[in-house]
Amino acid sequence: MNNFDRKFNLGVAFWFSVSLTTPVIHSMGFAWPGLFARSLLTAVSLAAFTLFIAYPVLIWALPLSVLVLSALAWLTFPVLLAKIALAVYQAVTTSYMFYPVVIITSFSLVVLLIVTRIKKTLPILLASGTAVFVPLWYLYVDSAYPAAISYALCWLILLSYKKGQALWVAAGSGEKELRNSWLTYTASVLLTSLFMAVILPKGFGPLPLDFLHSWADARFPFLDGLRGWEARNVRGSGEEFSLYDSGLRETSRLGGPLREDSTVMLEVRGNGAGLYLRGTVKYIYTGYSWLKSGQPEIWEPPPIGEELGGFMEPVQVWIKHRRLHTTTVFTLLHTLEMTGFSRPLLKGPGDDANLPGAVPRNREYRVKGLKLAYRDSFSPGKEPDTGLEPFLELPPHLPARVKELALEIAGGKDAYTGIKALESYLRNNYPYNKNTAVLPENREFVDFFLFEQKDGYCTYFATALAVMARAVGIPTRYVEGFMVPGSPHSNHHVYRVAGTNAHAWVEAYIPGTGWLTFEATPGFPTSDSLPLRREQQAEAPAITPQNGAGPAGDATRSLIPDEGEGFSSNPEKTAALSLLNSLLAMLLAALPSAALILASLMLYRWLQVRKNMHRLNLLPPRLRALGYYTLTLSLLDRLGLGKYPGETPGEYSERIYRRVYSWNISFKELSAAISYSLYSGKEEAPPLLAEQMEAFYLNILDRYFATVGKVTAFIEIYLQRKLHQPWWAPGTPWSIRNSANNRSTIRP
């Protein structure tokens, strides 16, 4: 295999591996790693495996070095070794990076072996790609479609290369020119195809294949279960998020039975269990629905109340839109930073965030912020409340008995105590019910819920709490979004947020504290479930509101630790630790594969040597003698007695025959006979010459073992292939003649 073939095979293996691992990793629920990280890990894996194959001694040297260093560390710094071992164990068992690294390294090894070691490369790669991509496509793994196209394109390139290789190798002297022409042509076709794919319009809808889907579902019912309920449809209209987009309601009008949609719409990675993901914040209540208005502004982190500092803890999540088509960017109530967008975000009156266009599907963005970690009875502040009038408005036709009930429950109380009383009243006196009646015409929604229907789900409870709180002078806003499940889909902090996790809740403004979340729906946790702040805990620095009394950004960010479960203020340090964990996990994953490679390689080389020696002994006497002579030259070269360039066999034997001897055979006589066989042009040679040359070869082989040692001889013969070469395969005698006239033997 020439140098170009090696580079081409490595490039093809890299392409195939990335195409395969991308949808497989996504199908298992892992949002990490991205394309760049996958490509980097694949390249490192292929480089490591290639190095192991070229220098198999590394397979022994690396584990041995780790054991030696571990033993030294145990004797000198046992505590440090224990910490390192614990860190490795945690990285393997808890890190969300471990399994993707294992998948990438395993696929890279398998593809590399298929491309470089198996003759029937193309059929095996075609069957492997079909076995991977067809199930993933039917399971609606979105990345399977572009990955399959990439895989097929690489397969066609490899097919073209295999077919063209036979032509340019047969051309002999013109091989390089033909190969370069093929490479130029292929590159031009690929670039043209890519250019056309970029400039062509992409507004075409999918092909109407409903008849094919119906036929498949009718004959194979289990396929519908694989795809999930209504999995063919993407939720959302491409506008702002609303609960009726998630399938919770039929229309934007409040009321009616609850619909449950199990379609996975978001994936959340990080410490996100139980988080409220704010979607759309509405504040205009019409009596039968919630609306919002106003001109959007450039999004900035919302202000945080000054009393919240000691009650918050940091949180960081990565959010990916899987099957939700919307302009809404999901945030936290106390968001500090959002990254992952090339365009500026727009902010609504309720501090919700949107993009000018729909959020790209499978685009992952990061949200940093704070969440409430301790409960307290937040006392009202003394500063005047300004700009909150829109969050106090009520429709003029709101029945008086709604206000009277609110005043009866919360009248005369401060804002926090009053809204907590309303929250408790709704949770304890109204049961949860999904199958509610449609709101009658000309009826006010909250009045109908409180006094006639008396049960409902989240939109009922959130609307009632918001309206009743406004009736007693507490500013509120109505929020629609998702509540992240309490447990991840896997043990790697990846949460699948489905339509069944869509939710509505209330945010109320507490003077001196700011906006807080309140939950009136029964069965959902409230702030009452949070622990009290420990008395011995040091008070956190005061936080003053932003965009008003003073900057709060620095004080708020001081709550964020440099390390730990939150997020690091040093991104370079975080990236370095992540890369170190990835490399460590990749090394641990590669060790079993390396051992398997070594065992397979040893068996393959042993069988190859046996086969080659058997083929050598079947050759005619002249060729058999020349073959053993060439093998003897390899041994003598290894012992420091090799031929000089241009030296004839006779000249060579005259120089070294006193240092090379046998009791029964003279190397000078053998060299003369070999020289006669090479240059006489005769095709026949006495059988005794082949037998004597074989005996002399075995004599030199014994000296080789005694000089270099059996371990070194084993490595050189069976692993590095420095001796027995398959050059005696059927071919012309010129190959033998050329190998005998050069000092160095043919290398693999």
Amino acid sitting at position 320: K
Q: How far apart are CA 35 and CA 100, in angstroms?
A: 12
Q: C-alpha dihedral over 730, 735, 741, 744, to 10 degrees?
A: -90
508: part of which helix (H) or strand (E)? Answer: strand 502-510
Q: Is the pLDDT confidence value at 736 over 50?
A: no
More confident residue, 115 or 171: 115
Per the structure block, which two tokens stand in for 439? 């709101």
Q: What is the DSSP letter of 442?
A: T
Are 80 and 44 contacting, i.e. CB atoms less than 8 angstroms apart?
Answer: no
Pure H helices in 200-320: 210-219, 222-227
At 193 the pLDDT is: 74
Mean pLDDT value of segment 118-135: 89
Mean pLDDT value of segment 41-52: 90
114: part of which helix (H) or strand (E)? Answer: helix 98-117
3-state secondary structure of 26: helix
At 552 the pLDDT is: 36
Peptide bond into 541 cis (omega under 30): no
Lowest mean pLDDT among 291-295, 497-501, 631-635, 682-686: 682-686
Centre a 10 Å sphere on the Cβ of residue 176 and count the other Cβ atoms it contains: 12
More confident residue, 404 or 210: 404
Are 277 and 482 contacting, i.e. CB atoms less than 8 angstroms apart?
Answer: yes
Are 81 and 74 contacting, i.e. CB atoms less than 8 angstroms apart?
Answer: yes
Q: What is the DSSP letter of 534?
A: P
Q: How far apart are CA 301 and CA 347, in angstroms?
A: 10
> Phi-psi region for residue 342, left (φ > 0), alpha (ψ -120 to 50) or beta?
alpha
pLDDT, tens digit (0-9, with 9 covering 90-100), for 380-428: 666 656 789 999 999 999 999 999 999 999 988 999 999 999 999 999 9
515 burial level (CB within 10 Å; 0-12, 13-18, 19+): buried
Q: How confident is the model at residue 671 (pLDDT cuts 50, 70, 90)?
A: confident
At 408 the pLDDT is: 95
Q: How far apart are CA 524 and CA 518, in angstroms?
A: 10
Centre a 10 Å sphere on the Cβ of residue 543 and count the other Cβ atoms it contains: 26
CA angle at residue 366 from 562 to 512, to 5 degrees?
A: 70
Are 31 and 106 contacting, i.e. CB atoms less than 8 angstroms apart?
Answer: no
Per the structure block, which two tokens stand in for 387? 């700009």
481 burial level (CB within 10 Å; 0-12, 13-18, 19+): buried
Are 479 and 454 contacting, i.e. CB atoms less than 8 angstroms apart?
Answer: no
Q: Using alpha carbons only, how large is the chain's radius of gyration in Å? A: 37
Mean pLDDT value of segment 723-741: 40
More confident residue, 403 or 213: 403
Q: What is the DSSP letter of 234?
A: P
More confident residue, 361 or 281: 281
Mean pLDDT value of segment 307-328: 86
Q: Is the pLDDT confidence value at 542 over 90?
A: no
Q: Is the pLDDT confidence value at 522 over 90?
A: yes
Q: How far apart are CA 416 and CA 526, in angstroms?
A: 13
Q: Is the pLDDT confidence value at 353 over 60?
A: yes
Mean pLDDT value of segment 70-97: 72
Helices 144-171 and 121-138: crossing angle in degrees, nearest 10, is 170
The segment with the largest mean pLDDT, out of 227-236, 585-594, 622-631, 681-690, is: 622-631
Q: Which residue has the tokens 């190959």?
A: 735
Per the structure block, which two tokens stand in for 351? 């501090």
Per the structure block, which two tokens stand in for 705? 């073992």
At 538 the pLDDT is: 45
Q: How far apart are CA 453 and CA 431, in angstroms?
A: 10
The percent of residues in the chain predicted with pLDDT above 70, rounded, is 74
Torsional sign, CA 715, 718, 720, 721: positive
Are 39 and 142 contacting, i.e. CB atoms less than 8 angstroms apart?
Answer: no
Per the structure block, which two tokens stand in for 451? 């006094």
Q: Which residues of 702-731 are buried (b: 16+ CB within 10 A; e: fewer)?
A: eebeeebeeeebebbbbbbbbbbbebbeee
pLDDT, tens digit (0-9, with 9 covering 90-100), for 553-575: 333 333 333 333 333 334 444 44
pLDDT, tens digit (0-9, with 9 covering 90-100), for 263-278: 888 989 888 889 999 9
Are 289 and 462 contacting, i.e. CB atoms less than 8 angstroms apart?
Answer: no
Please give the mean pLDDT across all residues of the chain. Answer: 77
Are 470 and 284 contacting, i.e. CB atoms less than 8 angstroms apart?
Answer: no
Amino acid sitting at position 262: S
Name the nearest CA neighbour of 355 among 340, 370, 369, 368: 340
Q: Which residue has the tokens 């429709």?
A: 395
741 vs 99, 309, 377, 643, 726, CA distance in Å?
Answer: 54, 84, 95, 8, 18
81 vs 75, 88, 590, 737, CA distance in Å?
Answer: 10, 10, 22, 59
Q: How far apart are CA 15 and CA 112, in angstroms?
A: 11
Name the nearest CA neighbour of 739 among 674, 670, 660: 674
Q: Is the pLDDT confidence value at 446 over 90?
A: yes
Q: How far apart are CA 266 and CA 234, in angstroms?
A: 12
Phi, psi angle pair for 427, to nearest 5°: -65, -35
Are 358 and 321 contacting, i.e. CB atoms less than 8 angstroms apart?
Answer: no
Per the structure block, which two tokens stand in for 201? 């319009």
Q: Which residues of 226-262 are buried (b: 16+ CB within 10 A; e: fewer)?
A: eeeeebeeebbeeebbbbbbbbbbeeeebbbebbebe
Name the nearest CA neighbour of 324 among 246, 440, 220: 246
Centre a 10 Å sphere on the Cβ of residue 400 and count the other Cβ atoms it contains: 9
At 228 the pLDDT is: 43
Chain mean position to CA 745: 46
Phi, psi angle pair for 109, to nearest 5°: -65, -45
First to last CA, the chain: 8
Q: Is the pLDDT confidence value at 230 over 60?
A: no
Q: How far apart are CA 353 and CA 615, in angstroms?
A: 75
Q: Which residue has the tokens 């043209």?
A: 192
Are 445 and 436 contacting, i.e. CB atoms less than 8 angstroms apart?
Answer: no
Phi, psi angle pair for 463, to nearest 5°: -65, -45
